[in-house]
Amino acid sequence: MSLDQSRAPAALIFASGFFGNEAVHVALGVGAAVAIVAGVVGVFTVIRGQSFAGEAFGDIGTAGGSGAFLLGIGPLLGFVIGNVIGAGAMELIGVQRPRGRDLATGIVLGAAIGLGALFLYLTVISQSTSGAAQTILFGSVFEISSSTVPLVILIGAACLAIVATIYRPLLLSSVSAEIAAARGVPVRAIGALYLLALALTVALAAITIGTILSTALLVGPAAAALRLTKSTPRAMLYAAGIGVAALWIGVVLAYDSDHWPPGGRLWPVSFFVVAIVFCAYVLSGLPVAIRERRERRAPAQEPARLGAEG
Amino acid sequence: MSALLSVHGVDVRISGRKILDGVSFEIGPGELTGLIGSNGAGKTTLFRVVLGLQALSAGSVRIDGRPRSRRGAAVGYVPQKFLLDPDLPMRARDLVDLGLDGHRLGIAWPSRKRRARVEEMLDAVDALRFAEARVGSLSGGEQQRVLIAHALVGQPRLLLLDEPLANLDISRGEEVVSLLARIAREQSIAVLISAHEINPLLPVMDRVIYMADGRAASGRTDEVVRADVLSRLYGHHVDVLNVHGRVLVVAGAGSESDLAGHEAVLPGPGHEHGAALEVGLDGVLGAAGEQPPRPEGKAPR
């Protein structure tokens, strides 16, 4: 690092070459697009209690991604195909019982992990390197080719379009499937469409931070956002914001980590992203904790459960 | 009066078991009807039938003159008491707003008209006080009011409430019941309330549907809550006792042959039979116009 660079404060944050690097541009652009979609879709994942299905799509993505690697097609396509097949299988197995959903998810998840183990083993022996496994499991946002960007935008737009189209009946059936059914909402079809959006979103998250950590980007920002606001659209906005911030800060820190020990190597972006999301979740609990503490000291006239502005 | 809900000769069989057996009744606008029966009597199935969620083996259901498949938003429904998720990012106001058109695709854009309608509904159920609170953080009774407003805001002609009094304390239950009676009258809609117990509904109920074992007896309260009618319904002799304006239905000491004899002399729901019963029911009807009966030892909060 040259002297004149280290004198400017920005140079301490952004290591040299950050803004001129095309891989960084792609990483920032794809990261933001994926985080926005994950924020919007993730709020419903948390409200509906479908984190387990999200996690399963991560593991199904491992099979899809490593399968794609063996066939020589792009990993994103592998994640997408794998997850869409997985979503279809869950829907077919899923019986209309409250616990049927988890059961179907578990069965498909188990099968996918087995397949993923086989495919990963085959990639390792055919390539005699663990690079593919590392990329699939933990992601490498700097290695996304710019030719993938249109597909990312397309899939992201499809997810947002699905959620916007079914927004009201999805919200109603997430509040109460019983009320929604009584209103004539086709609860099962709405749930299946949402599952498709969820499958596609996890595929997007997988190319940025890897299949194993993909749920963190889906569930973490949304869970933090739900603690900060009592409005669903605003929760989506906050979740998207937290996700974009986490990805961008993660990209910056990973780029900087070239200069950190052991030196000459970039730390995985996924580590930073997940660490930041975790911190955001912990911090999001502070406003509630502070409010409760204040209320305990000076009991208000209104009952505490009426809550405060959010 | 043209019936808002007319159920005629409905049979429902689920895997060979007869759940509903020849159920018929009608309810009209402005009326509050109680659907009384114990667990397993068929109340929930009957609700599912009216909501179009349960296929019929026989019979017909018409809502506001139309078959139930084309009922549109004519039916509001408040399910059996359940607690909303405390983390749900929704104010009470938002849940009521969702009642306007939550079944339609797309996103609803806020408008002054929507807001005014939601405000009006929150006021009608006395929920303005907690309209801005996270709906899952409200108490059970408060959530129930919000759910009633949610069901009513779409201007249904028929409102169904599944066990709204379960888990509410006595005075909260009275408040809800009189609120519903007022809504039925003011908005000229038909309200159907299911309950285990008839007494909390007695002061406000216009009609009753008594269910036992998938069969139903319906009519004005004084036509149905009689030993002869209920004995036939239960297929077992029961007595109807009146205690300080409350009704107790108790299994009688009579045997099967007693019942047969009893039935033989009864020409159906009449008004001139059973002097003792009428004494009891006079008490009941007397209570209807007065203060709601309040069991001793349970003062309001």
User: Which chain B residues have a beta carbon less than 8 Å from that of A43?
Assistant: 89
State the count of interchain CB pairs (< 8 A) between A and B. 97
Whether A140 maps to a domain, the answer reads yes
Contact A43, A226 (CB under 8 A): yes
In this predicted model, what pLDDT tens digit does every residue of B210-262 receive, in sequence order? Answer: 999 899 999 988 888 888 888 888 888 888 888 887 888 888 765 444 444 33
Report the alpha-carbon angle A163-A233-A223, nearest 5: 90
| Predicted complex ipTM | 0.83
Flag whether A14 is in a domain: yes
Structural domain includes residue A94: yes
- Answer with the residue of higher pLDDT: A41 or B283: A41
pLDDT tier, A15 (very low <50, low <70, confident <90, very high otherwise): confident
| CATH homologous superfamily, domain B5-209 | P-loop containing nucleotide triphosphate hydrolases (3.40.50.300)
DSSP-derived letter for residue A17 is T
pLDDT of A88 higher than 70: yes
Strand partners, B249: B240
Is the residue at A46 inside a domain? yes
**CB < 8 Å to A183, chain B:** 73, 77, 102-103
Contacts of A165 in chain B (CB under 8 A): 105-106
The two structure tokens encoding residue B266: 């009864």
Q: How many other C-beta atoms are found inside a 10 Å radius of the C-beta of residue A43?
A: 30
Binary contact (A164, B84; C-beta < 8 A): no
Residues of chain A contacting residue B84, judged by C-beta atoms under 8 Å apart: 175-176
Output the pLDDT for position B11.
94
Higher pLDDT, A238 or B83: A238
User: What pLDDT, on a 0 to 100 scale, did the predictor assign at position B120?
Assistant: 92
CA distance B20 to B23: 7
Check whether A193 has a pLDDT greater than 60. yes
Enumerate residue ranges in chain B where pLDDT < 70: 1, 70-73, 81, 253-301
What was the pLDDT predicted at B173?
Answer: 86
A178 contact residues in B (CB cutoff 8 A):
79, 82
pLDDT score recorded for residue B287: 36
Strand partners, B58: B11
CA nearest B48 in A: which residue? Answer: A182
Residue A109 belongs to domain with CATH number: 1.10.3470.10
- Asked if the Cβ–Cβ distance from A168 to B79 is below 8 Å, we say no
Q: Do B94 and A231 touch (CB under 8 A)?
A: yes
In a domain, A308, yes or no: no
Number of domains making up chain A: 1
pLDDT (tens digit per residue) in A210-225: 998 899 999 999 999 9
One-letter amino acid at B273 equals H
Conformational region of residue B258, where left means phi above 0, alpha means psi within -120 to 50, and beta covers everything else: alpha
Peptide bond into A262 cis (omega under 30): yes
Interface of A with B (CB under 8 A): 43, 46-47, 164-169, 171-172, 175-176, 178-185, 225-227, 229-232, 234-235, 305-307, 309-310
Cα distance between residue B34 and residue B17, in whole Å = 25
Domain span including residue A96: 3-299
Position A9 confidence tier, pLDDT thresholds 50, 70, 90 = low
pLDDT attached to residue A92: 86
- Identity at A188, one-letter amino acid code: R
The overall pTM is greater than 0.95: no
